[in-house]
Chain A
Amino acid sequence: MTDLTNLTVAQIRDGHRAGDFSAVEVAEAFSANVAAAKALNAFIVETPEHALAAAKQADADRSAGSLKPLSGVPIGMKDLFATNGVQTTAASHMLEGFVPRYESTVSQKLWDAGAGMLGKLNLDQFAMGSSNETSYFGNVISPWKRNDGGNAALAPGGSSGGSSSAIAARLCPAATGTDTGGSIRQPAAFVGISGIKPTYGRCSRWGIVAFASSLDQAGPMARDVRDCAIMLENMAGFDPKDATSLNMAVPNWEAALSSDLKGKKVGIPKEYRLEGIDPEIDAMWDAGIAMLKDAGAEVVEISLPHTKYALPTYYIIAPAEASSNLARYDGVRYGLRDLPEKAGLQDMYAATRADGFGPEVKRRIMIGTYVLSAGFYDAYYTQAQKVRTLIARDFEQAFGVCDVILAPTAPSAAFGLGEKTADPLSMYLNDVFAVPASLAGLPAMSVPAALNREGLPLGLQIIGKAFDEQGVLNAGLAIEQRAGFTARAEKWW
Chain B
Amino acid sequence: MAIDQATVRKIASLARIAISDAEAAAMEGELNGILGWVEQLGEVDVTGVEPMTAVIPNNLRLRDDVIDADPLTGGNRRDDILANAPAPQHGFFGVPKVIE
A residues at B contact (CB < 8 Å): 98-102, 199-201, 214-215, 240-241, 243-244, 246-247, 306, 309, 312-313, 315-316, 323, 327, 330-337, 339, 343-351, 353-354, 357, 362-363, 365-367, 369-370, 373, 379-380, 382-390, 392, 423-425, 439-441, 466
Q: Which chain B positions have C-beta within 8 A of A334?
A: 84-86
Q: Is the CB of A389 within 8 A of B50?
A: yes
Tell me, in angstroms, the Cα distance from A423 to B60 when the chains sit together. 40
Knowing A345-B96, A350-B18 are in contact, say whether A246-B58 is a contact too (CB < 8 A).
Answer: yes
Q: Is the CB of B56 within 8 A of A246?
A: yes
Q: Which chain B positions have C-beta within 8 A of A327?
A: 16
Nearest B residue (CB) for A314: B38
Q: How far is the CB of A74 from chain B (nearest CB, A)?
A: 25
A200, A243, A332: most-surrounded residue (chain B CB, <10 A):
A332
Q: Which chain A positions have C-beta within 8 A of B27?
A: 362-363, 366
Tell me, in angstroms, the Cα distance from A247 to B58 when the chains sit together. 9
Knowing A312-B41, A323-B15, A390-B44 are in contact, say whether A440-B87 is a contact too (CB < 8 A).
Answer: no
Q: Which chain B positions have C-beta within 8 A of A366?
A: 8, 11-12, 15, 17, 27, 31
Q: Is the CB of A337 within 8 A of B87?
A: yes
Bits for B37-64, please: 1 = Cβ < 8 Å to A, else 0.
Answer: 1111110101001111111101011010
Knowing A344-B98, A424-B30 are in contact, say whether A357-B41 is a contact too (CB < 8 A).
Answer: no
Q: Is the CB of B38 within 8 A of A315?
A: yes
Q: Is the CB of B51 within 8 A of A102?
A: no
Tell me, in angstroms, the Cα distance from A343 to B14 when the chains sit together. 18
B residues at A contact (CB < 8 Å): 3, 7-8, 11-19, 27, 30-31, 33-35, 37-42, 44, 46, 49-56, 58, 60-61, 63, 70, 72-73, 77, 80-81, 83-87, 93, 95-98
Partner of B51, one of A336, A347, A382: A382
Tell me, in angstroms, the Cα distance from A365 to B12 when the chains sit together. 9
Tally of A-B Cβ pairs under 8 angstroms: 168
Q: What would be 28 A-B contacts, judged by CB atoms less than 8 Å apart? A: A200-B56, A243-B60, A306-B44, A309-B40, A312-B38, A312-B39, A332-B85, A345-B96, A345-B98, A346-B16, A350-B13, A353-B17, A354-B18, A362-B17, A365-B17, A369-B15, A370-B11, A370-B31, A380-B41, A383-B44, A385-B51, A385-B53, A386-B50, A388-B52, A389-B50, A392-B52, A439-B55, A440-B55
Knowing A345-B98, A366-B11, A439-B55 are in contact, say whether A240-B70 is a contact too (CB < 8 A).
Answer: yes
Q: Is the CB of B42 within 8 A of A383?
A: yes
Q: Which chain A positions have C-beta within 8 A of B50?
A: 386, 389
Q: How far is the CB of A287 from chain B (nearest CB, A)?
A: 32
Q: A348-B95, A384-B38, A439-B55 are in contact. List 10 more A-B contacts (CB 8 A).
A: A98-B84, A243-B61, A312-B37, A312-B39, A336-B86, A348-B96, A354-B17, A366-B8, A383-B42, A385-B52
